[in-house]
Each structure stands twice: as C-alpha cells, then as structure tokens.
Amino acid sequence: MGLLEGKVALITGIANKNSIAYGIAKAFKREGAELVITYANEKLGKKVLPIAEELGAKLALEMDVSSDEKMDAAFAEIERKVGVLDAVVHSIAFAPVEEFRRPTLYTSREGFRIAMDISVYSLIALAQRAVKLMEGREGSFLTLSYYGAEKVVPHYNVMGIAKAALESTVRYLAFDLGRMGHRINAISAGPVKTLAARAISGFHLLMKHTMEVSPLGRGIDIMDVGNAAVFLCSDWARNITGEVLHVDAGYHVMGVMDKEESIEQS
C-alpha cells in the first residue's frame, strides 16, 4: 500500500515536466494519492492538461493565485467535483525579471509587492480556502523554499526576502492550522533547472557551485523533492509541523566553502 493511499492532494505550480511540482505529483501518484492539479493560466494549461491526464488526475483546473475571485471560483469547483482535500502543495513563486537583474538596493515597490503577493500571501490564501475541505481530516500543507531565505545568494534578491517571509509564514500558520489538526511544512530545495530558475542570473554557476561544495558532492532532482514531500504529507510525519526540511545534498550545513577539499574527498 502506498504512503498516501486514500488521500486527495491539490498540487499547484506545475508549469512543465521540469517543474518541482511535477516531481511531487509523480511521487504522490506513485504512493496512491488522488490528484487535483491547478495551473496559473490558459496558456500554461496547454502544457499542464496533458500532464494531468498522464497522471490520471481527478480534476485539472485554472487557478491564478493573484486573484481572490479566481481562487474562490477554483475552490468552488474543487468542492463541487472532489469535495475533500488531505494535502495541498504550494509550489509557486514569482518576481518580475528586472528584480533579479539589479541589486536588492534598487528593488521597486511594485516588484516587492508582486513577489510577496504571489510567492508568500498565496500560501495563506490557499490555506484559508483549503481548510474548509479538510474538516474532520488531518490535513497537510507543503511549500517550497530556498537557501536564499537564510543567507545572501547574489542575484536571488527580493525572492530571498520573500522566501524568508514564506518560512516565517509556515511557522505562524503551523500554529493556526495545528489547532485544527492540520500540519504545514516547507522543503528548502537545492537548485533545479526549471522555468522559474531561468530568471535568475548565473543560475548555472549556482548549480555547479552547490554540487561542488555540498557534503554529498552532487545536485538534487525533482524526484528527491517529491519523495521528501510524500513523507511530509504522509501519516509518518503526523507530529512534524512548522518545519523547513532541506533537500539540498547537505549544502546548507557548510560554513567555509572549500571546493578543493570536496573534490579531493570524492
């Protein structure tokens, strides 16, 4: 029996087969979960609908998290067609590309607002609506963060600030949701080449650096994140909430980045 047998999971943030959310959806499916898949807009729908079909999703629908009305409409449809939810995966982030191109010092008010709205507030907006479908169940929420929340990663800029706020949001929501019997956690994933990652200047150098200095001396892939997500959303993790789990080949434990040393060891 799969670890998520009998559970219904809402997965947001699949843009294509490179998306971290795709790895999570595949792992959830493998473990017996029924899937509800949402995509940001009609254009992305053309890519995502065939993926939803391949994964045998119960329902696939559009949901732009920047609009309360669109979220209400999507949740009304989920309630009508599916009725319940056990898990919600928030795999969404966005900031205007200019914000990755200039120093954090020159972040615009609008860029900051958009980054916080789409990448952070959307988690709260999802939780507000999902709890109604989790009544009487031990629900579980999961979001995706990155090391740039904890330390300065050049070019990550306003997204690092947003991820710090996101991780704090996980802790505050853990308190509110915990009173209802639900859990919420984050996975801080190592760099993965995806559509969103392409916006960040020098991303390939960041990936190379991470692989070279991490204790395991390698990078991660979307199934590594998917497998950890299965655990966090399964009953095996029923007393884990408010946590940020690093799936980064151990990169975050390094203080001094000694590239030579890690190469000698391998």
For binding to ligand 0WD (CB under 6 A), which residues are involved? 12-13, 15, 18-21, 40, 44, 64-66, 91-94, 118, 144-146, 189, 191-192, 194-197
Give the distance, in angstroms, between the CA of residue 255 and the centroid of all CA atoms in the same chain. Answer: 26
**C-beta closer to ligand 0WD: residue 3 or 15:** 15
Give the distance, in angstroms, between the CA of residue 243 and the centroid of all CA atoms in the same chain. Answer: 14
CB of 179 to ligand 0WD, least distance (A): 26
Residues 6+ positions from 201 with CB-CB distance below 8 Å:
100, 101, 155
CB of 112 to ligand 0WD, least distance (A): 16
* Active centre residues (catalytic): 146, 156
Is residue 147 within 8 Å of residue 153, measured between CB atoms?
Answer: yes
CB of 207 to ligand 0WD, least distance (A): 8
CB of 181 to ligand 0WD, least distance (A): 26
Distances (CA, A) of 225 to 47, 99, 177, 246, 252: 21, 27, 23, 9, 16
What strands lie across the sheet with 8-11, from one edge to the other? 59-62, 34-39, 8-11, 87-90, 140-145, 183-189, 244-247
**C-beta closer to ligand 0WD: residue 93 or 213:** 93
**C-beta closer to ligand 0WD: residue 137 or 254:** 254
**C-beta closer to ligand 0WD: residue 64 or 212:** 64
Burial (CB count within 10 angstroms: exposed 0-12, middle 13-18, buried 19+), residue 227: middle
